[in-house]
Amino acid sequence: MLYLKKSFIGYILLTFILLEHLGLAIGSLFIPFFFIFEIIFLISMIIFYKPFFNNLRILFRYTPFHYLILFYIFAIITILISMVQRTFYLKSFLFSFIGGLNFAVIFVFITCYLLFCNFLPKSKFVKYYCIFCIFVFSLGLLEFVLQKISGGIPGYIYHLFNNERAILGYEVKEATSLFISERIQSIFSEPSSLGEFIYLNAPIIYSISLSKFKIFKNIKIDKILKIFLLFSMIVCFILVQSPITFLFFIIISLIFFLKNIFIGIKKNIILFLSLTLFIIPTICILFFNLDINQTYLKRIIVSLPTLFSLETLILVEASLATRIIDNINALLIFLKFPLFGIGYGNITGYIFIQLANTPLPLTKELLYVLLSGTGAPPYGLFYRVLAETGIMGIGLLYYYFIQILICVKKKIKYSNNGIEKDFVKGIGWTILFYITLSAFYNSSLHKTMIFMLCAYAVYFCFNRDKIIYTEGNKDGCIDNISKL
């Protein structure tokens, strides 16, 4: 009974953490519960869980987590310095540091680490994550189906799931936009958020869907759900109709399967050449008969030649231009404050000063931000952290991610085969793509899903065989510290 209660608490906490990650549409509803449950859990652990501080000491000392703590301490230093150099903004501090770095990063990592150690069966977390992804993708497919049915109860149900993107003061609905009604967003705030969820989870889904090891005990159920997980992800990727999702998903898929592709070509060179001779003409015929101007792929084709001319790009693809201009402005801020930045979380407030004096052209979105004094322009993770914490801060943060990747690689090399090993392989790829692609496209450091996965990777690497349970006491403690 105690085991069931502890598992139930673990799944509830993980569910709130993942729902908070979903964005404004659903995530904002769960943020208060997310904070409350996490605070109660950590306080109860401090009071009732005897190995709590010992586990934290080991976590800080023997895992990549202590580099994240160093970044956290350095972030506090940059905030104090920002008060002296007058770049400190209280509102940004409350949201980005108190609500973001504390709860969405540090507390999520510690909470998930403790849950994996003693509250959740190791093998069942993979099953839980698989079910969560199926849930997200299934709602996306349901949304698409319901969009084809107008009126009546189905139409009402559709509006419950279809969280329409808010039209801000600077946005205008384009009457000529084609296929816009077919875009899906599942339970995210907008289609691009679902797109990011898809391409970041793609390595994990590839790893577990194509694994020869079972996620579910029943062989038939295991095969059906693996196939459906892979199928639903690919279909949702198509229906999101996001150019950046298309590019990132294709790049990630090619890199992930690169080794297998080369091995397959080498072993089956005649078959490969035959298929190539068949596929290339087929693709040419399809594209010849397809009016590319009536698909969202037109945005890619039109945008590429204008990437190095912001004035032209603003007219052709304002959304992409906004992100490029934001990243350049963040880089200009870094050049003004290269060592300590403008203070962690302060870019949202400081950006108004930067936009008012920038030599770069501004899109309608950025003009709206400047004139209204509200909103937070989208930045790439690398550029934002660089502007806020300087060269030292970004170095500590990226070294933390790199250390996790190194640990995962070493542990996998000597681990026994199994679904957990395949799952962690996928996590390693996801972290690698996250820190790479977020340098080019907008992404937040406060992605709770990423730090939940990081916590699981650290747990898998360092404490997998170190947790012992005494008879009559299900609370775990870590033994054999010297062997770590």
DSSP, collapsed to helix, strand or coil, labels residue 476 as strand
> Going residue by residue through the chain (484 aa), what tens digit of pLDDT does each one get?
445 577 777 888 888 888 877 765 555 666 777 778 888 888 888 887 777 787 788 788 778 998 999 999 999 999 999 888 887 788 777 778 887 888 889 989 998 888 888 787 777 888 999 999 999 999 888 888 877 665 555 554 555 454 444 333 334 343 333 334 567 888 887 788 888 899 999 999 999 998 888 888 888 998 999 999 999 999 998 888 888 888 889 899 988 888 766 665 556 666 556 656 666 666 555 555 555 555 556 666 666 656 666 666 665 567 777 777 788 888 888 888 888 988 898 888 787 777 777 777 777 777 777 766 666 667 788 888 999 999 999 999 999 999 999 999 888 887 778 888 899 999 999 999 998 888 777 778 888 889 999 999 998 887 654 443 333 333 333 333 333 3
d(CA 28, CA 248) in angstroms, rounded, equals 27
d(CA 188, CA 191) in angstroms, rounded, equals 7
Name the phi and psi angles at 467, rounded to 5. Answer: -95, 125
Residue 386, burial from CB neighbour count under 10 angstroms (0-12, 13-18, 19+): buried
Name the phi and psi angles at 468, rounded to 5. Answer: -120, 150
pTM, to two decimals: 0.80
The distance from CA 349 to its chain's CA centroid, rounded to whole angstroms, is: 24
Sign of CA dihedral 68, 9, 100, 163: positive
Smallest CA-to-CA distance from 37 within 1, 62, 10, 69 is with: 10
CA 261, 265, 266 angle in degrees (round to 5)? 120
d(CA 226, CA 206) in angstroms, rounded, equals 9
